[in-house]
Structure 1
Amino acid sequence: MEASWTSIIPFLVVIPIAMITKQVLPGLLLGLLIGSYLISPSIIDGMETMLHYLVQALIDENNIKIIVFLYVFSGLIGMIKSTGGIKGFVETASERITSKKQALFMTYISTIGTFSAPTFRFVTIAPIMKALLKKVKMTTKELGFVIETTATPVIVLIPVATAFVGYMVSVIQISTEQIGGTIDPYTLFIQSIPFNFFAIVIILVGIYLSFFHPSHSDAPTEMDAEEEEDDWHDCHPAVSKDLPDKPWNLLIPIVLVISLTLFLTWWDGQSQGYSLFQAFVKANVLQAMVIALIMTTFLSVVLFMLQRFPLQQLLSSFINGGNELMSVIVLLSVVWGLSSVTDELGFSAFVTSYADWIPAMFITPLLFLFGCIVSYFIGSAWGTWGILMPLGISLSTVADVSMPLVIGAVFASGSFGAFASPLSDDTNTLANILDLEVMDYARFKLKPALIAATISTVLYTTITFVL
């Protein structure tokens, strides 16, 4: 496709608008609209072009599967909440933990069963730790930091059964399609995981501060002191006193969805004639995840109805849960549309023609640092990935830099914003549960986040020489 400088105009609009408004969607929509008018420069034709690309994105088979996965996953979590699964887990765990060491160990080990989404982690772990704050002898900010290092930084490294994996694979897919790539996007995602240096480093920093570093000497804030008298049941609707205590309503669905995902992934691969390890690599993982999730949802409904939960309540909580992710689905749809528009404008060809002057050794670290800045000011990992992944993959092709390395750097930069930004959902959700002032808490964790980002930058610069 012919290279045109106009192909970068949508991105020149998206990034500053997102940073100024602190919202991702307005910038993406304006970028899509401008790109559509560049293709069809008339009032009606431009709007029709924009609608065309949005519709094309939504009727793509893989995109539909991702939307179904996100909606059903969020709906299942909604049912688990309403049937007391999270409340029961929190009650049971809080009764058995009696020391700081046990509480911290519980925080880390519970990742095995609650890694599906950051908010899911927060509403299961934060209330437990909040109830035990006197026993663990930590300030509330330190507690929030430890919890948050086991949320998004862990989840972005897990290749199955999370709310993130479908989206992450999708942004790789739409970006590789722009350059005519034929590599399976899920394989690229797996290969990029070891290069998400920020997530890995911040997890290690969290472990160090949890188990090997003395508690900070600063006195608890006024919020910390007030928190001791609060009832942790009031910190989030998922652990409300009005809900029943049924921990198995959390554990059984989680075990089911993980087990079925692994089994169906293997089944799809072996049915194509591959051996055990190759079966997992060659399988249609997205389809296996969607089917496993749907099967788990049906089985969970049966489980809940056997406990005499009304079907109407289950349906209502499923729909309410699914609707909580509609904003993400809209965001994803616009990202898909914008990617198609910039591809039509010749974005990849432009980058290939005019960006080859950038020294290869600087591409990955600079992309990571730029992504950190963008994600910090917009507060969205998903938005950062959607904006920067097409640019990153195009640059990796131009400079002959390892594509998994660049993909890992883009994911790492978004992870930085999700962790450190005062605008991120993670920061605000956890601060709300723990009764922390958002900006105070964000400032507290910015220093370790910057340390991890600096280490990551050095690693990206070093690894470029090796690869």
Structure 2
Amino acid sequence: MEETTMLSLLPPALALLMIIATRKVLPSLGVGIIVGALILNDWAFIPSVSLIWEAFSSIFVSEGAINDWELFIILFLLILGIMASLISFSGGSRAFGDWALQRVKTRVGSQLITLIFGILVFIDDYFNSLTVGQVSRPLTDRHNVSRAKLAYIVDSAAAPICVLAPLSSWGAYIITIIDDILSDYSGIAYSGLQAFIYMLPMNFYALAAILFVFLVIVWKLDIGSMRKHEERAIVHQQLLDPTRKNVPGDHSQDLDTHHGSVSDLVIPIVALIISTISFMIFTGARAVDNATLLTIFAETDVARSLVYGGLIGLGASVLLTLSKRPSPFQMLRATWNGIKSMLPAIYILILAWIIVTIIDQLRTGEYLAGLIDGSIPTVFLPALLFIMAGLIAFSTGTSWGTFTILLPIAGEIASVLDLSMILPFLAAVLAGSILGDHCSPISDTTILSSTGAGSHHIDHVVTQLPYAILTAIGAFIGFLVLGMTGSTLGGLLVTLLIIVGIAFSLKSVITPLPEN
């Protein structure tokens, strides 16, 4: 396949449609992978099998060296699974749930605490998705909040907050790209960091997503499939769909056989957070000559820092569990349960990485980006770039890849049509990338949010999608206003007012589910 064609859309579209239709993630991703490999090899079977094997093996070994990104992410998942299992086994989760239940009296309160924690953990989206879900789960479980609702809250405070924070792995990466883009055009008097700050109020989707999840929590706006999950959790105390099995990150089999304390959960989690952030700063500082906070987070080794921090957190949980004097068999069983709980997520991640590799070779993102016609009036371009970035991120499962593809294109369009619109164009790409990342079932952030919350992945995708679409409507209209008026404040106000209006309209027609 020498040039990009509409056929490049088939594998991701087929996989996504099958996921929605069958509710089976692994077979759907497998079909998308096979079809994509066949397209790349002109429907020849043997070369297609070879391509799939190369994509799989590259997850572990690339160019003769260990692939320390994907492999370390898998290792971190296993470490976190064992750590969470030991915390549950030692009684830490139950003790934390009892402690929190005395202080957080309502379901709404437990969800708000989760959202606030997610906003505070803005360093990295992987770290956010897994840590916030693991920490919040004992509290939300006690208040009978469905795991699908927990996953939605976690996901809505992961990528959206990371893309707004300059001192995060996302912010540093984006600033680096923007700085390179702006350096190509004379007449621009601000740096990448200044441009990033100027664009913060233009990232309508990220800001609207955080506002909307807050309103969903406070006004109990449970719609579509989410209402079924919440009703089941409240009425029957079933936090998960009982007809499904193999829940990523689930530790319900780890019965609390010991009387634990809150410290059995707090100490390992605090050790994990502090050590991970410390290693991120350390690895970033080692990689640059003139270290600043921005350059440190631009060059930090996230995957390695997660593993090192995870090992310290795991060490703390092992020591606390051993203090309860469990038998060797109990320790081995708890360890195996932790590993087993993460296997479903690892299987999904591996297939998602393979299909993303194949989609990258198909150049699906380039094809979609090429659909932008230079004859389109400038006033419509922010909204169009927002939708285009959303489609690319949704189809490819990667917001960072979308940044790489579309940000330079947006800069080039602005340089040709109206250089004063470069920041709105770039902001629209960032916002659309978050939208696509938020919706896509093959996005690693979506997968890890499901894992951290202990939710079935497909349940998280299906329940979150209506909220993401409603948020996207508000952001799209906001970008239309921005393009027509050139007013950032006007576009932001319109976006937020539409979000509040949608939420208020839902509130007026939806009967809230009871607290208990």
Taking structure 1 as the reference length, the TM-score comes to 0.66
The aligned residue for residue 316 of structure 2 is 299
* Letter in structure 1 aligned against 2:291: S
Shift in Å, 1:321 = 2.2
* Letter in structure 2 aligned against 1:32: I
* Letter in structure 2 aligned against 1:361: P
Could you tell me how far apart the structure 2 residues matched to 1:100 and 1:31 are? 39
Shift in Å, 1:259 = 0.4
Change (3 A) 1:348 1:458: closer
Shift in Å, 1:67 = 1.8
Which of the residues 463, 471, 474 maps onto 1:455? 474
Which of the residues 397, 408, 432 maps onto 1:409? 432
Could you tell me how far apart the structure 2 residues matched to 1:412 and 1:98 are? 33
Question: Could you list the per-position Cα deviations for residues 132-170 of structure 1 after superposition, in whole angstroms to 9, with x for gaps in the alignment?
Answer: xxxxxxxx89x996x66642212334659xxxx99x99x
The aligned residue for residue 102 of structure 2 is 95
Question: Could you list the per-position Cα deviations for residues 343-367 of structure 1 after superposition, in whole angstroms to 9, with x for gaps in the alignment?
Answer: 4445566556555458443433324
Query: Which structure 2 residues correspond to residues 198-277 of structure 1 after superposition, within 5 A?
Result: 198=205, 200-208=207-215, 237=252, 242=257, 244-271=259-286, 272-277=288-293
Change (3 A) 1:320 1:239: closer
Question: Could you list the per-position Cα deviations for residues 300-347 of structure 1 after superposition, in whole angstroms to 9, with x for gaps in the alignment?
Answer: 212321232344433432332233332332333233333333444455
Identity among equivalent pairs (%): 16
The aligned residue for residue 136 of structure 1 is none
Question: Could you list the per-position Cα deviations for residues 351-407 of structure 1 after superposition, in whole angstroms to 9, with x for gaps in the alignment?
Answer: 5655545844343332477589x7xxxxxxxxx662787567534444447667535
The aligned residue for residue 183 of structure 1 is none
Change (3 A) 1:45 1:110: closer
Could you tell me how far apart the structure 2 residues matched to 1:316 and 1:129 are? 28
Shift in Å, 1:88 = 0.7
The aligned residue for residue 377 of structure 1 is none
1:366 aligns with 2:387: yes
Change (3 A) 1:78 1:155: farther
Shift in Å, 1:409 = 2.3
The aligned residue for residue 59 of structure 2 is 57
Greater alpha carbon shift after TM alignment, 7-16 vs 113-122: 113-122
Could you tell me how far apart the structure 1 residues matched to 2:338 and 2:88 are? 9
User: Is the 8 Å Cα contact of residues 37 and 46 (structure 1) preserved in structure 2?
Assistant: yes
Query: Which structure 2 residues correspond to residues 136-147 of structure 1 after superposition, within 5 A?
Result: none
Change (3 A) 1:226 1:349: closer
In structure 2, list runs of 5 or more residues that go unmatched: 62-66, 122-127, 178-192, 240-249, 414-424, 489-516
Could you tell me how far apart the structure 2 residues matched to 1:368 and 1:119 are? 27
Change (3 A) 1:86 1:389: same
User: Is the 8 Å Cα contact of residues 369 and 457 (structure 1) preserved in structure 2?
Assistant: no
Shift in Å, 1:12 = 4.4
SS in 2 for 1:364: helix
The aligned residue for residue 50 of structure 2 is 48
The aligned residue for residue 123 of structure 1 is 137
* Letter in structure 1 aligned against 2:84: I
The aligned residue for residue 36 of structure 2 is 35
User: Is the 8 Å Cα contact of residues 75 and 318 (structure 1) preserved in structure 2?
Assistant: yes
1:333 aligns with 2:350: yes
User: Is the 8 Å Cα contact of residues 82 and 335 (structure 2) preserved in structure 1?
Assistant: yes
Change (3 A) 1:39 1:121: same
SS in 2 for 1:320: helix
SS in 1 for 2:326: coil
* Letter in structure 2 aligned against 1:38: I
Shift in Å, 1:19 = 3.4
Shift in Å, 1:425 = 10
Question: Could you list the per-position Cα deviations for residues 224-279 of structure 1 after superposition, in whole angstroms to 9, with x for gaps in the alignment?
Answer: 799589799xx983896755332212111110111011211222233344435133
* Letter in structure 2 aligned against 1:71: L
* Letter in structure 2 aligned against 1:58: F
User: Is the 8 Å Cα contact of residues 280 and 305 (structure 2) preserved in structure 1?
Assistant: yes
The aligned residue for residue 157 of structure 2 is 154
User: Is the 8 Å Cα contact of residues 36 and 50 (structure 1) preserved in structure 2?
Assistant: yes
Change (3 A) 1:429 1:417: same
* Letter in structure 1 aligned against 2:18: I
1:85 aligns with 2:92: yes
Change (3 A) 1:326 1:363: farther
The aligned residue for residue 76 of structure 2 is 69
Could you tell me how far apart the structure 2 residues matched to 1:50 and 1:214 are? 45
Could you tell me how far apart the structure 2 residues matched to 1:396 and 1:123 are? 37
Question: Could you list the per-position Cα deviations for residues 20-47 of structure 1 after superposition, in whole angstroms to 9, with x for gaps in the alignment?
Answer: 3334433332232123233444333322
User: Is the 8 Å Cα contact of residues 283 and 301 (structure 2) preserved in structure 1?
Assistant: yes
In structure 1, list runs of 5 or more residues that go unmatched: 131-139, 177-186, 375-383
1:19 aligns with 2:20: yes
SS in 2 for 1:237: coil
Could you tell me how far apart the structure 2 residues matched to 1:94 and 1:159 are? 29
Which of the residues 288, 297, 300 maps onto 1:280? 297
User: Is the 8 Å Cα contact of residues 264 and 292 (structure 1) preserved in structure 2?
Assistant: yes
Could you tell me how far apart the structure 2 residues matched to 1:63 and 1:236 are? 24
SS in 2 for 1:309: coil
The aligned residue for residue 330 of structure 2 is 313
Which of the residues 363, 366, 386 maps onto 2:397? 386
SS in 1 for 2:211: helix
Change (3 A) 1:458 1:298: same
